[in-house]
Chain A
């Protein structure tokens, strides 16, 4: 059971928009930065969004992040087949004194 809660899977058609949620608590998302990663099969994770809504250099601006209270979201617009993969949120947790990850969300582009 992950400290940060993500939906196990989402799916959407090409060229559409999808959002992935990440729910936490006041000790993590509510008080610290949220980061988003994409992991493709057989590859290392890649940082997409850091400090809630900052886009990593070189990452498409079709990706965006937002946060409200103890929840965060990753939005992907203009979906492409290459966006398929596992998405993770992560944040520092003040109570656990460590980094916590969400359980991951598998994105399927129909």
Chain B
């Protein structure tokens, strides 16, 4: 059974870069028609999709974050990562990694496996 686990700093200073990694266990990141996603939830607000990647390297990003986001995959480590540059307090949120088992060529938005989430606070 596939499991996901986020890791990375819980505190990031304003203007710096937020870096998180999601480790996939119980299955290969390279198998199947999966998109590997990053999603966040700001305090007191709803879910926001950040972007996703396939093992081949194909990426899709939220247009509102695209200029600051990079998602990459390391198939040898069975991990994928998120980099968000020039962070501000508005990037304070719980960050989740999740798997989308899409069979339609593009992500379907049906994330069936999620990590527990990691809280990232942007503060000096």
Contact = CB atoms under 8 A, between A and B. Distances in A.
B108 to A, nearest CB: 5
Given A44-B96, A44-B117, A45-B96, A98 B49 contact: yes
Contacts of B115: 44
Contacts of B48: 101
Contacts of B111: 35, 37, 45, 47, 90
Given A44-B96, A44-B115, A97-B60, A33 B110 contact: yes
What is the interface of chain A mostly: helix, strand, loop, or mixed? strand
A44 B108 contact: no
Contacts of B107: 92, 99
A53 B115 CA distance: 24
A88 B110 CA distance: 11
The 10 closest A-B pairs by CB, nearest first: A50-B110, A44-B114, A104-B46, A35-B110, A90-B109, A99-B49, A99-B109, A101-B47, A103-B46, A47-B112
14 contacts: A32-B109, A35-B109, A35-B110, A43-B116, A45-B114, A50-B112, A51-B108, A88-B46, A90-B111, A98-B61, A98-B62, A101-B49, A103-B46, A104-B47
Interface residues of B, number: 28
B20 interface: no
Given A97-B63, A99-B107, A104-B47, 15 more contacts: A2-B46, A35-B111, A39-B41, A44-B96, A44-B98, A44-B117, A45-B39, A45-B98, A45-B114, A47-B110, A47-B112, A90-B111, A98-B49, A99-B60, A101-B49
A100 B49 contact: yes
Given A88-B47, A103-B46, A104-B46, A98 B112 contact: no
Contacts of B100: 99
